[in-house]
Structure 1
Amino acid sequence: MTPTDDQTALAVQVSRLYYYQNLTTETIARELGLSRPKVSRLLTLAKRTGLVEIRIHDPAAQPQVLERDIAQRYGVRSVKVVSVPTNSSEQEWLERVAVFTANHLNTLLQPEMVVGLAWGTTLEAVSHHLTPRTCPDLDFVQLNGAGTARHITNLQAGETYARFAQNYGARAHLFPVPTFFDYAETKRAMWRERSVRRLLDLHARARLLVYSVGSPLARVPSHVYVGGQLEHEDLQELEREGVVGDIATVFFRRDGSFRDIPLNARASGPDLTLFQTAKHALCVVSGLGKVEGLRAALRGRLLSELIVDEATASALLAGENPL
């Protein structure tokens, strides 16, 4: 059952007293005129709904060491490494990262916020683990088109945005354009339409961007490389340009640069400077096939916060030093 706004507000109040002021449940109960069992239930509610996120900081623990080293090496503001079982599959890594991200989002989303989401395998996985919570006047906007030459709509992408909107009682703003236009001039003409400009304005107003790094090498395939959005000639062009990954179907090279890649002129995703200048750019990555793309995105300063599984984080640091 979804908690009411009053229950949520009381759970936050109790959590602040318990975790920030170190008050006992007995003291909190007396101060707020509640029973001790009621205080315990509210603390449980806060953890269950993601209002409180418990993190154990063990200086000797591998995930915390990885977080520190990635943050120092690449200058990223916040890094969260998700532990995964030894000898587990990459699908299991993705599920662990998706659950962690879904809970983390509840600590980031605020009323009247515009959130930009880039559809794909990772965000689809996150959408299945969201914890119900009502957040007034929240807007989710699709950052890039999902259509192909055969189908202008993408049911899978649409369902992902619908799950986010339904979970938070929010509005979903879909972007019904192709992932890639056939001609750059067609895109320029479409971008002059008032309906499209309204969505582009939402992109610019987004206070939080949530996305992953796409890669043709990922073992859990990125949709853009297997979903019919790219022709064989497009893939050859990307190889010639030295492309190692994409964000919101806009491509970048090994050094993190993205200017003058011809396919980007036809891409429906935003210019990657949006991710460099965003107030909060949360990149969620899982899988060894994405290591090279993630390293390039870090070099290009294309994120401010990273959530990544432990195995992928280790492989990232095991590679060459950043440029």
Structure 2
Amino acid sequence: MAGGYTDDRYVQGGKNADAYSIWHWYLIDVFVYFSHDLVTLPPPCWTNTAHRHGVKVLGTFIMEWDEGRKRADKLLSTKDSAQMYAERLTELAVALGFDGWLINMEVNLDPGQIPNLKAFVSYLSETMHSSLPGSLVIWYDSVTVDGELSWQNQLNDKNKPFFDLCDGIFVNYSWEEDFPKLSADAAGDRKFDVYMGIDVFGRGTYGGGQWTSNIALDVIKKMTFQLPYLHLDGSMRLSNHLTFKLLRVDGGDLLKNHGELYRIIPKYFHSTQILIRVMVTTYIVKETKFWMLLGTIFLPKAFSLSLNILETLPLSQSKFLSRKTSG
């Protein structure tokens, strides 16, 4: 992903010891791989390691700007066309082994196109669920049932018809303090399917984002919502290129800042604990920037950085990674 990180294009790993990775999987339920291309397919390395940690992985289907409107006109030209696109997206997810889609329609539409858009969302949910039980289709808070591109920043009657057709809604991140409660009221017994957005960059986010993202988390926790978007971009929806940029800001220490960012989060969530049958694990020793395999440290030049071999991590890394190594 140009402008953020590109190391994950190497399926078998690369030589960059500072390549972006995640070692707090126990705090994540759903990982969305995002870009501004029409269809974003999660690289196998992310899917493999996420699944190893019990985390679902979603791709992104997005239409935006003038080109997006042209594509939307084609997608929504008929009900059959809408269903055909849904079938192709389902086939991609099943063939590549990831768990569903984030649907982001960031274009203005004609009101007459909305019925076919609903048919697309409904059929995508239906085909994903039948082909891959446990899969997810999440709607992004974007175009409304009136066809207007208008971010509601809450669940309401403008976007709830789409929410009703899929597994959840990813609410835009410019919400106000009372919007989480309003969204919970609108969702009823499905409030756990509402993902409130937090832009970790702080772009219009309640509380300012960045190192004060906990202010927004405090409000969300009162409603016991999901948190998808720690833009963390994260479901976390994790738009990693933005997180990567933030952690590198002003030439900062990526590893140190990544740890500081994730220290904000644990008190707000129950961790996802995985029972494993063996005590041998392979994981990145981030404090050393080297890999450890069966107790042996490997230098980056001799052992490439590959998310594919990242196995389940201990919940408390400090118990295992406290010893430093010299250069």
- Provide TM-score, normalisation by structure 2: 0.30
TM-score, normalised by the number of residues in structure 1: 0.31
